[in-house]
Structure 1
């Protein structure tokens, strides 16, 4: 058996990779990851260089991790910039590092693909790989419960907690059925927000990936990119990525277009797989009162209810989601740091941070809009 790295996932047959990916995890599929690579969204200039790890026996892949050699910490959503800054001040090299993740996608799920035994052997071979490659550390972000068990058995790995906000469909018949579970004040607030959007003459149209024209993708990309430009940053994804995504995974792509007098003014792009609605990208080219909440949240809730989906994962951060019914959910990541001094300092920090995150997740529930019997 041997650990090998792969600089281009397209060199591995899709069926061989996807055989290791659990159902309902679109961000790990061969189609999604190769769309990132083939579109130029990943590469040396982005700080993300593909370096997938494979555990193989006689040419057969038994386990794998989608991996990347990182020269910065952008697009990870598990923030270690302070660790990198401390290393810079102490003249300890922090980059390059290795990251196991779905790029630009703060979505929880399996990262150690394959059977538990093979995945554990891959994990045990990782420290030697880091040393050989001159990499300072390894990080595995947004792991699931099985990964947590496997990595947690390795004493050298440090555990980090985060918090996101997910909405749960408890068998609602329609949006009004959901509203009926809320306190009177919050119910009125959400209803008023939706009415304000309607009063501006805005209507919504849902499109699946295969239905979207290239001209519509131009508009979608312009909206997406604008969310970065207004903050003085460059977008992570290229325009070509969106076309490749629609071509390779059309059944998972759902876009809601907001239109005023037949003219598109905003959009939200999501992926749907299994029982989950994944809200991913939003953007608008003009400002409209309450349009963000309607397009990003309420439209997605409507869709999830209509399709019988159990969960709406709206991505990282955003405490404003709490008052709209998105509940705090703890997330996990794991970190292997080769430098003993850095490891010791980070271990102490993470212990305190975990306590704080757990406390916040409990406190945050006080902001939820549900009536007491629903909480």
Structure 2
């Protein structure tokens, strides 16, 4: 029996790691995590330092957890800046901390990898090892971000503080085509979507859907430039780069969906999505300039069509965006877990989260009242 902490995916056997992943979840694939490291999307320079936990028995990996040592709260999408500020004001170190998460990826999914789904002993050993790592490394705590419901139940140990948030996801109700989906909507919402799609077509925009097999180097160059332009304008430094996108497309070609929009043969917008056996994940968007309704077409309607065509059950288009409700997306609860190590603020944080939970539930109830679907649906 052996538990190790690895600072590089290169030290972990590809086939053994991937064998632990459920349903081909894309963001835990060895190739995805390795490309983050290889092309400097993570590392000390951005405050995401790999500390992957691996449990082996008889030279066979039995379980693992993706872990990162964090020296900031950038790219987590579960906001704890107020907690960090409180620590700083009272002269207590909040960083470094550990996160059990996928960098820059607010997509719920597997956070503890087990050789057998019912292997409670391996799960117990991994959780105990994380707690030991927190204490020995003088981390302020461990934060599990966007765990799937099954993993949430495994990781929700004593003393953990549970947080909720809300995203907007689309669910496939056995639709046969996009028109079938539209037919389930209230007439006003259906008419609005048709108008938005017509505006894009009337603007002379042509849409191409590509995967890792069909997207060329020029396509990735165009998309990366558009993606980085959005970050330069709105968010600051982009987390990903063209080399990363091309490497992941090469290694996981069937799990990549690249939607590009062109006008007069010039690429003006694009969206990158990933898929597993059941879900499509919208991840990145970029545009050269504003074209009415183009964002909705590229990021939402093309994704819905892809889900229907591929028989995928759910479309997770990313964080935030109440405007998604009118376009067929439903409020969906997301979760996170937080263990604070010997913190004088544990009780205060727990009280903060308790009030926050009530607010999140009121928000979900409020937006649910604006469902675009006919009452029978």
TM-score when normalising by structure 2: 0.96
Structure 1 residue 101 and structure 2 residue 101: aligned? Answer: yes
Corresponding residue for residue 153 of structure 2: 149
1:158 maps to which of 137, 140, 161: 161
SS of the residue corresponding to residue 170 of structure 2 reads strand
Residue 23 of structure 1 pairs with residue 23 of structure 2? yes
- 1:24 to partner: Cα distance: 2.9
Which residue among 265, 273, 280 is the counterpart of 2:276? 273
Equivalent residue number for residue 48 of structure 2 = 48
Q: Equivalent residue for 1:80? A: 80
Residue in structure 2 matched with residue 9 of structure 1 by the alignment: 9
- The question of whether the paired residues in 2 share the 8 Å contact of 1:52 and 1:65 is answered with yes
Distance change in 2, residues 1:345/1:312 (3 Å): same
Task: Tell me whether 1:360 sits opposite 2:354 in the alignment.
Answer: no
Could you tell me which of 185, 188, 193 is aligned with 1:190?
A: 193
Q: Does 1:290 align with 2:301?
A: no
2:176 equivalent to 1:170? no
CA distance in 2: counterparts of 1:131 and 1:275, whole angstroms: 38
Distance in 2, Cα, partners of 1:232 & 1:353 = 25
Give 1:134's match in structure 2, choosing from 115, 138, 148. 138
* Contact residue 23 and residue 278 of structure 2 kept, 8 A: no
1:249 maps to which of 243, 247, 252: 252
| 1:30 Cα offset (Å) | 0.6
- For 1:188 and 1:41, how far apart are their aligned partners in 2? 42
C-alpha deviation, 1:19, in angstroms: 1.5
5+ residue gaps, structure 2, are none
CA distance in 2: counterparts of 1:55 and 1:343, whole angstroms: 29
Q: What secondary structure is seen at the aligned counterpart in 1 of 2:344?
A: helix
Please say if 1:123 is aligned against 2:142.
Answer: no
Q: Within 2, Cα distance between the matches of 1:150 and 1:283?
A: 37
Alpha-carbon distance in structure 2 between the residues aligned to 1:360 and 1:305: 29
Report the aligned-residue RMSD. 1.3
Match of 1:64 in 2: 64
What is the alpha-carbon distance in structure 2 between the residues aligned to residue 315 and residue 245 of structure 1? 19
> Contact (CA 8 Å) 1:39, 1:244: kept in 2 or not?
no
SS at structure 2 position matched to 1:210: coil
CA displacement 1:157-195 (0-9 Å, x = unmatched): 111111111101111122121111111111111111111
Moved more, 143-152 or 315-324: 143-152
User: Aligned partners of 2:332 and 2:196: how far apart in 1?
Assistant: 25
Q: Please state if 1:207 is matched with 2:214.
A: no
Q: CA deviation at 1:146?
A: 2.2
Q: Secondary structure at the match of 2:192?
A: helix
